[in-house]
Structure 1
Amino acid sequence: MKFPTPTLAPLLAALVLAGCATAPAIDTATLVTTPAAFKENATPLSTSAQWTQATPAEARDRGTWWRAFADPALDGLVERASLQNTSIAEAAARLAQARALLRNSESDRALQVGVGAGAARQAGAGTTNGSTPSTLLNANLNLSYEVDLFGKLARATDAASLDAQARAALLQSTRLLVQADVAQTYLSLRALDAERVLVRETLEAYRGTVQLTQARFRAGDVAELDVVRVQTEVAATESEALALDRRRAALEHALAVLVGDSASSFSLESADWRTALPVIPSGVPATVLTRRPDVAAAQSSLLAAQARVGVAQAAWFPSVSLTAAGGFASPELGDVFKWSARAWGIGALLSMPLLDGGRREAGVQAANAQLDGATAQYRGQVLTAFQEVEDQLSALRLLEQQSEAQGRAVASASRATVLSDSRYRNGLVSQLDLLDARRSELSNRRQALNVRSAQYQATVTLIRALGGGWDAAGKVGVGAAPQTLAANR
């Protein structure tokens, strides 16, 4: 049968207009231009280090970068956190949900098949016996398929796929963040252990001075004021030691939560701070930020928002569904599956909205607004990534210089304490001179520990800011040559 031309006119017009449903292109002028290198690379951190540029792979595992610190205790804690941390488990659940939504979207593009059976008892007009009740039994197979002429279903599937990619990247970002938090908390705890040892050593020195001063007081060489002064220093130093113990307990409890354990049952024994300090080499290209999982997630979200603009625009065009049904129907149960009781039908349904009170237009506007927001979010994520890397590169450069200066201060303060102690024992200087020298030495040694701790913290933060995934090249111990870190290929 040949249909008259006017019958196809609306469909042909819709096909012509289908090009209007194409999602708008993203304005690259609104995005961030990636520089060739970071500003802080103008001052090399290490003249012997070399850099290997990483291949962008946002969903790939970030690697065992924490092994560059050569600390078995840290390795064990990070591995426990990777398996038991609740934030990682939540991110994994959100990824599973996004993948389920993707499968749900893909099912809309597949052939729908169903079976059915029923029985109806009816009487009245339209029945074979008039007012006499009759029974109709049926069993059938139904098929339906929506023809995606305008790409609505395809764009919805693309958006769901990009959402799943974003969730996969966010899972990697969460895992990297937890690993970095574990490393920084552990390193802070080890720095406190070293500071506690230093304060207790100073406390023992003060107690020795108390004994010496009391002996000289009994001999009549010094006044009672000297004894009270030293006793004051002992009490104040004991208070500082207890404050450090309190801070360590809080860090230990925080570490327990990070590794997925109860604070009541978790403990980490005090140990010498022998963790290696890896050095991020100079010449870091800015393009490594493409490896950051949070940047990759923002990019996938941006592309998903772009696809959803096309989905909203496609709502203006008709939908075409093909249906088919076949089965059997009979008033007698024994005759239901006889060939004479067969029934079948095929059909095509075209539906096109005309007036909806502005609902579709509002949907397009909402999708465009979501795209604008995703674009701004992506730009902000990239700008934040550059800031974080530049912050840590500058911090490491300045901390290296500060460490050298602080080392000279510690050496001078230690020498001053030795000289003051010797002269005090020989009665050449007052007790105030000795106490001032010891206070100065303790203050400078604690400041040196703070600078060293800041170097570790900045190193971990920089590795996280660059996307993780670093492998240590060579064995490095405390006081060894700077370590070269290379990105995984």
Structure 2
Amino acid sequence: MQADLPVRWEGGAESVPIVPIVPQVDLAAWWRALGDPALDDLVARALQGNLSLAAAGEHLRAARALSIPAAGASLPNLRFATTATPTPDSRGSYFQAGFDAQWELGLFGRSAAAVGIAAADAGLAQVNLRAARVSVAAEVVRTWLEWRDAERRLALSDQAVALQRQNLELLQARVRLRLAAAHELAGARAALAQAEAARLEPQNAVQRYRQQLKVLLGDRNAALPEGPRADIATSAELHIEQMPADLLRTRPEIQRAEQLVLRAASAAGEARANLYPRLALGGMLSAAWPMHGAGGDSSMHSTLVLGPTFDIPLFDWGSRRAVVDVRDAELAAAVLEYRQSVLEGLAEVQSALAGLTLQRERLAAAQRALAALMEQENAALTRRRLGLADQLEIGAARLARLQAELALSQAQLTHQLSFVALCKALGGADPDGANTQQPAQQPAVPPGAAP
């Protein structure tokens, strides 16, 4: 099985320079590149306290525990048991005690297949835990960014409401002085009502994102950062050092598909081993003592049995062969799904790269628009000082500037979320250090089992 991976990302250079949010990023802790200590603390707390992560950790512990009996099934086992047995005429009974030993030889790959299935299940649980950590870290960063954006939009909306109220008061004064028509008040009142209505959405969003962060932290009473926020980096260059082949070790979805291939291969090997005989070595050492009614016999009787046990399948109407065909088909499907996961991973990263570049251009355009409207506001203030403009014109210029700031805030948020999407698509991060392990080997397929 081969994963068709390009040598480099589209763009032609081994280290593709993008110009989004931060400089060269360490995927093991990519959120630190945003330069916000409060965010760093929140992510660390979520990775320690998130309940979904704790549940995934317990699933991993259970899967690892199940690998012990799978490995022990191919080793000798010894039991000790006691029992009371009636005599043939049911008039008396014997007390029996003895040791029973058995060792099933895992011939034809049967033991290795059982161990492989258990190992793949443990690997799946580990990948699921890693995927959960990646998801929780990304969700904390996303929610934090959206919370900050909602706070900015709420502050700008408050300014817009104040300006609309001021414009209405100015217009009312002009109407009293007969400098404006009374019907103009309706438009000013409508603009004020619209500004007040627009304020409600970010106000609700602030509370919603606060609750989402508490859920991610795993504590409804969790303390959240208050007060001034640190500025988030938005302008430096980002260099993608990861090559497409690195996705094999950094992207959980590919690792999950790999473990499914390994499990399917082991299951196919187990089904094939079941076509052949089972051989076990067994022995028993027991002793029996008469208890009562045993015909006067008071002597101890001992028994020693040693020998092999054969289980030879002869004829079952093709049921075992059918199981082999099923497992081979499942293995072939798992291989195809692995290749599909690689393609999807490449496509997601390429789309995230393109989206990040596009959002950078949108952010730059929003910054230019705000700069132009700030110049327009300054020009209105200059004309006001010269007596060439009234307060209503200044208010209109300020409202236009506020709208541009709202658009810039949205562009910054979308830009930052694109960065989050790119890091998540690349498979970052695993704060436990799984990204530092050796690159995963492409799952091997037994000859003749699958294409």
Same fold (TM over 0.5): yes
Relative to structure 1, the CA distance from residue 148 to residue 358 in structure 2 (aligned partners, 3 Å threshold; closer, same or farther) is same
User: What is the Cα deviation at residue 146 of structure 1?
Assistant: 0.3
Q: Aligned equivalents of 2:151 and 2:314: distance in 1?
A: 74
Q: Aligned equivalents of 1:136 and 1:355: distance in 2?
A: 41
User: Partner residue of 1:74?
Assistant: 39
Higher alpha-carbon deviation: 147-156 or 439-448: 439-448
2:314 pairs with 1:354 = yes
Q: 3-state DSSP class of the match of 2:101?
A: strand
Is the contact made by 1:410 and 1:441 (CA closer than 8 Å) also made in structure 2? Answer: yes
2:353 pairs with 1:393 = yes
Identity %: 27
User: What is the Cα deviation at residue 465 of structure 1?
Assistant: 1.5
User: What is the Cα deviation at residue 164 of structure 1?
Assistant: 0.8
2:102 pairs with 1:144 = yes
Is the contact made by 1:203 and 1:234 (CA closer than 8 Å) also made in structure 2? Answer: yes
Q: Aligned equivalents of 1:210 and 1:273: distance in 2?
A: 36
Correspondent of 1:209 among 167, 183, 187: 167
Q: 3-state DSSP class of the match of 1:117?
A: strand
Correspondent of 1:308 among 256, 267, 271: 267
Q: Aligned equivalents of 1:250 and 1:469: distance in 2?
A: 26
User: What is the Cα deviation at residue 455 of structure 1?
Assistant: 1.5
Q: How does 1:54-453 map to 2 (within 5 A)?
A: 63-124=28-89, 133-262=91-220, 269=226, 271-272=228-229, 274-277=231-234, 279-282=237-240, 284-290=242-248, 291-331=250-290, 341-420=301-380, 437-453=397-413
Correspondent of 2:17 among 31, 44, 67: 44
Q: 3-state DSSP class of the match of 1:274?
A: coil
User: What is the Cα deviation at residue 368 of structure 1?
Assistant: 1.5
Is the contact made by 2:289 and 2:299 (CA closer than 8 Å) also made in structure 1? Answer: no
Higher alpha-carbon deviation: 462-471 or 190-199: 462-471
User: What is the Cα deviation at residue 309 of structure 1?
Assistant: 0.6
Relative to structure 1, the CA distance from residue 284 to residue 140 in structure 2 (aligned partners, 3 Å threshold; closer, same or farther) is closer
The unaligned stretches of length 5 or more in structure 2 are 438-451
Q: 3-state DSSP class of the match of 1:467?
A: coil
Is the contact made by 2:92 and 2:291 (CA closer than 8 Å) also made in structure 1? Answer: no
Q: Give deviations 1:438-457, integer Å, cap 9, x for gaps.
A: 55433322111111111111
Is the contact made by 2:167 and 2:395 (CA closer than 8 Å) also made in structure 1? Answer: no
User: What is the Cα deviation at residue 367 of structure 1?
Assistant: 0.9
Q: 3-state DSSP class of the match of 2:17?
A: coil
User: What is the Cα deviation at residue 381 of structure 1?
Assistant: 1.7
Q: In the alignment, residue 187 of structure 1 is paired with which amino acid?
A: L
Relative to structure 1, the CA distance from residue 253 to residue 200 in structure 2 (aligned partners, 3 Å threshold; closer, same or farther) is same
Q: 3-state DSSP class of the match of 1:328?
A: strand
Is the contact made by 1:190 and 1:271 (CA closer than 8 Å) also made in structure 2? Answer: no
Q: Give deviations 1:216-242, integer Å, cap 9, x for gaps.
A: 333332222344433332221111111
User: What is the Cα deviation at residue 422 of structure 1?
Assistant: 5.8
Relative to structure 1, the CA distance from residue 113 to residue 390 in structure 2 (aligned partners, 3 Å threshold; closer, same or farther) is same
Is the contact made by 2:260 and 2:334 (CA closer than 8 Å) also made in structure 1? Answer: yes
2:4 pairs with 1:33 = yes
Q: Aligned equivalents of 2:115 and 2:362: distance in 1?
A: 54
Q: Aligned equivalents of 1:51 and 1:429: distance in 2?
A: 49
Q: Aligned equivalents of 1:99 and 1:488: distance in 2?
A: 21
Count of aligned pairs? 425
Q: Give deviations 1:143-173, integer Å, cap 9, x for gaps.
A: 0000112111111111211221121122111
User: What is the Cα deviation at residue 426 of structure 1?
Assistant: 7.6
Q: Give deviations 1:51-81, integer Å, cap 9, x for gaps.
A: 69x9xxxxxxx73332222222212221222
Q: Aligned equivalents of 2:57 and 2:241: distance in 1?
A: 35
Is the contact made by 1:182 and 1:255 (CA closer than 8 Å) also made in structure 2? Answer: yes
Q: In the alignment, residue 317 of structure 1 is paired with which amino acid?
A: Y
Q: Aligned equivalents of 2:44 and 2:328: distance in 1?
A: 43
Q: 3-state DSSP class of the match of 2:203?
A: helix
Relative to structure 1, the CA distance from residue 46 to residue 269 in structure 2 (aligned partners, 3 Å threshold; closer, same or farther) is closer
User: Partner residue of 2:416?
Assistant: 456
Q: 3-state DSSP class of the match of 1:320?
A: strand
Q: 3-state DSSP class of the match of 2:239?
A: coil
Q: 3-state DSSP class of the match of 1:150?
A: helix
Relative to structure 1, the CA distance from residue 266 to residue 365 in structure 2 (aligned partners, 3 Å threshold; closer, same or farther) is farther
User: What is the Cα deviation at residue 348 of structure 1?
Assistant: 0.7
Q: Aligned equivalents of 1:209 and 1:440: distance in 2?
A: 13
Q: Aligned equivalents of 2:71 and 2:376: distance in 1?
A: 76
The RMSD of aligned alpha carbons is: 3.1
Q: 3-state DSSP class of the match of 2:334?
A: helix
Q: Aligned equivalents of 2:115 and 2:322: distance in 1?
A: 22
For normalisation by structure 1, the TM-score amounts to: 0.78
Q: Aligned equivalents of 1:470 and 1:111: distance in 2?
A: 40
Q: 3-state DSSP class of the match of 1:452?
A: helix
